[in-house]
Amino acid sequence: MSKALYTGSFDPVTNGHLDIIKRAAKLFDHLVVGVIENPQKTPLFTSAERVEMLEELLKDVDNISVDSFEGLLADYVNENNFTAVVRGLRAITDFEYEISMAQMNAQLFNQGIESIFLMTSPANSFVSSSMVKEVVSLGGNAAGLVPDCVFLKMKEKYKS
């Protein structure tokens, strides 16, 4: 059985992430969406909140589950028998970061585990969680960039 991990901070999940998740789920028997705590970033949403939003948004897709983990990605991947790790690519700037991460992970992954990249749909090529946060924190409109329920939760967070 092929089992892939699509991992990231998802702070918050965007429509770009959801597009990649749904496309990746068609390529593997099972896809785990793995929410990771990145110590370099100060999250807007707790990892429990991010998992809850993803579970709600993906509840109708049978072969997707949502998990969260801390620490080294390679440890989680090796310990849970993944076939592949999926990441999305929006632009050349993503490529530079992603290739160094993929090459480091290639040293750390058990043999045979691949990093696989899907190109973001053109409609989402400019959408990033960090830019959406900046827009919403300044009172801007993120409709169409993140699901409506996520936009609402973001507005609540910035209000409080």
Catalytic positions, please?
17, 41, 90, 129
Residue 112 or 139 having the CB closest to ligand PNS = 112
Q: Which residues bind ligand PNS (CB under 6 A)?
A: 7-9, 36, 38, 72-74, 101, 104-105
Residue 1 or 92 having the CB closest to ligand PNS = 92
DSSP 143: B
Residue 101 or 135 having the CB closest to ligand PNS = 101
Distance CA 133, CA 140 (A): 9
> Alpha helices, DSSP H only, in the chain?
15-25, 47-57, 73-79, 92-108, 129-137, 148-159
Residue 154 or 159 having the CB closest to ligand PNS = 154
Handedness of CA 43, 45, 130, 100 (dihedral sign): positive
DSSP 40: T
Nearby residues of 148 by Cβ (< 8 Å), 6 or more positions away: none
Smallest separation, CB 137 to ligand PNS (Å): 18
**What's the half-sphere exposure (Cβ side, CA atoms, 13 Å) at 110?**
10
